[in-house]
Amino acid sequence: MIEKALQGGKAYWTLVIILLAIVGVGTLAYLKQFTEGLTVTGLSRDVSWGLYIAQFTFMVGVAASAVMVVLPYYIHNYKKFGKITILGEFLAIASCVMCMTFIFVDMGQPFRILNVFLHPSPNSLMFWDTVVLFGYLVLNLLISWTVLGAEKKGIAPPKWIKPIIIISIPWAVSIHTVTAFLYSGLAARPFWMTAVLAPRFLASAFSAGPALLIIFCLILRKYTKFDVGREPIQKLAVIVTYAMLINVFLILMEVFTAMYSGIPEHLDHFKYMFFGMVDAEGILHTNLVPWMWLSACLGVLSVILLVVPKFRMKEGLLALACIFVFFSLWIDKGMGMIVAGFTPNPSHGVFPYTPTFIESMITLGVWGLGALIVTVLYKVALTLRKQVDTNRYRA
């Protein structure tokens, strides 16, 4: 089936080459990091995780969100998601690969990464995260390839795949829960140590992921002949709306607890994010401030666009709302979440973090890799679907 990825037009190959070039730039930047060490990043003794781990966290959410199309289609037999499900699963595959790559580029000793399996330590959440993420990748590869393969032959998918599909649903929830546990179990970081972190991660994932899927569907409709139809997109929009509302609700829960209790250890991280903080020398650091306000504004705007049915029904406005949701949550999770957990540090010292150029290029490269995988896999899916449809028409 993968051979379908090699049969494309000019536009397809141009896109592939651009994405390959981005991956190439990222690889070159990574080679520099590999030779010189993580000193080429903005990471420090005080902010020891940054852009890479934040992107990883965000992408775990996008990967998990495939469940939002898998569940209605396979469990509730919502047939209208038939065309979209494979797109969700392929997006999950690309996201999983991105997650693993982000972890890989964050390692100080990447060639020792197999030590995680050679010396398994069930007490570490990172061990479990590796296990569930790898498992989720395998599940999605297996499911999407089997279902698509059956479709190609014009037969029903084999019976044995059904229990695997059902397993993949709680598994999707588990990958983001375990990722939240990476943070929420740390007594040293009060900002993350909240029971609401895993639910919040899931809510933001189930809005950002389907929002991205809607954007993809609209792009595919515009530039290819593949149209998932209006109804599934509207259904996804409702999912995005509810998930985003729950996400905003959970964020407000966090803000209330921190503000009303007034415990500095909890409150200070919010202060740093939204107002900045002074360091020991009296210098005010506001690195995150514009970003966090942008994220909040985009979040509010997206909620308005999503909640009012008249807006949501218009696909142009829906696309805008989805872009807002995605970008708002990307800032929140892919920038604020991790860095603010480290600032101020446990001794209340403020050491700001700004990603370096090299770090940003590596990050861009990984995004390029994800986009490349999505492009290639979507190409396969679209070509196969087209063939199946033509065959059906001829018959």
**Residues between 270 and 329 with contacts to other proteins, criterion CB under 8 A:** 280
Based on the shown chain and the rule CB under 8 A, indicate whether residue 163 belongs to the binding site for other proteins: no
- Length, in residues, of the chain: 395
| CA–CA distance, 166 with 281 (Å, rounded to integer) | 56
H or E stretch covering 345: none
Of 135-143, 195-203, 290-298, 344-352, the segment contacting other proteins by CB under 8 A is 344-352
> How far is Cα 79 from Cα 65, in angstroms, rounded to an integer?
18
Q: Which is nearer to other proteins, 77 or 123 (CB)?
A: 123
Site string (32-71) toward other proteins, x via CB under 8 A: ----xxxx-xxxxxx-xx----------------------
CA angle 80, 86, 88 (to 5 degrees): 90
Stretch that binds other proteins, among 244-252, 289-297, 304-312, 340-348 (CB under 8 A): 340-348
Tokens in use for 62? Answer: 């996008």
CB of 54: closest distance to other proteins in angstroms?
13
CA distance 199 to 375: 31
Least Cα distance to 60 among 318, 324, 337 occurs for: 337
CB of 199: closest distance to other proteins in angstroms?
Answer: 21
348 lies in the binding site for other proteins (CB under 8 A): yes
Q: Residue 257: what residue type?
A: T
DSSP class of residue 72 equals: I
346 binds other proteins (CB under 8 A): yes
Question: How far is CA 191 from each of CA 52, 97, 197, 252, 341, rounded to the nearest angstrom?
Answer: 19, 28, 10, 14, 5
> Segment near other proteins (CB under 8 A), from 22-30, 56-64, 82-90, 180-188?
180-188
Q: C-beta of 7: minimal distance to other proteins in Å?
A: 41
Q: How far is CA 20 from CA 182, 291, 367, 375, 376, in A?
A: 32, 29, 11, 11, 12
- Residues 111-150 close enough to bind other proteins by CB under 8 A: 112-113, 115-116, 118-119, 121, 123-127, 130
Nearest to 203 by CA among 254, 158, 159: 254
Count of residues in contact with other proteins, rule CB under 8 A: 47
- Is 109 among the residues that bind other proteins (CB under 8 A)? yes
Which member of 9, 76, 77, 108 binds other proteins (CB under 8 A)?
Answer: 108
C-beta closer to other proteins: residue 234 or 345: 345
Bridge partners, 285 (sequence order): 277
What does the alpha-carbon distance between residue 189 and residue 345 come to, in Å, rounded to a whole number?
Answer: 8
Binding mask 230-259 for other proteins (x = CB under 8 A): ------------------------------
Return the number of the residue (118 or 155) whose C-beta is nearest other proteins.
118
Tell me the closest approach of the beta carbon of residue 327 to other proteins, in angstroms: 26
CA–CA dist 30, 34 (Å, integer): 6
Complex with other proteins: residue 112 or 230, whichever CB lies closer: 112
For residues 383 and 10, give the distance between their C-alpha atoms in angstroms, rounded to a whole number.
15
Residues that bind other proteins (CB under 8 A): 36-39, 41-46, 48-49, 103, 106-110, 112-113, 115-116, 118-119, 121, 123-127, 130, 182-183, 185-189, 280, 341-342, 345-349, 351
